[in-house]
């Protein structure tokens, strides 16, 4: 494994902090078999991308209804 300089470590930590400021992380537990159900759909995206896109689409839909 490569050794990193202190400057590289600091730059990496700064990049991670900046990423975390601009994104919201949510830890969700799904029932067993959910991963397989999503994968079975054969979508051209990761499970995380599918869940993210689905939640954002539903939020947009609900915001339009509730306005």
As a whole number of angstroms, the distance between CA 42 and CA 31 comes to 20
Distance of CA 43 to the CA centre of its chain: 16
Query: What digits encode the pLDDT tens for the residues 7-66?
Result: 999 999 999 999 999 999 899 999 999 999 999 999 999 999 999 999 999 999 999 999
Q: What kind and span of H or E run contains 24?
A: none
- Domain boundaries of the chain, sorted by first residue: 6-66
Ramachandran quadrant class, 23 (left: phi over 0; alpha: psi -120 to 50; beta: rest):
beta
Residue 23 is classified by DSSP as -
Please report the DSSP string for 26-67 in residue order.
Answer: ------TTHHHHHHHTT-SS-HHHHHHHHHHHHHHHHHHHH-
Q: What is the pLDDT of residue 2?
A: 80
């Amino acid at each position: 494994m490569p050794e990193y300089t202190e400057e590289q470590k600091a730059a990496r930590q700064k990049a991670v902090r900046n990423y975390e400021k601009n994104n919201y992380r949510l830890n969700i537990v799904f029932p067993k078999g959910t991963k397989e159900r999503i994968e079975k759909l054969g979508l051209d995206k990761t499970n995380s991308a599918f869940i993210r896109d689905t939640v954002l689409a539903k939020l947009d839909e609900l915001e339009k209804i509730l306005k």
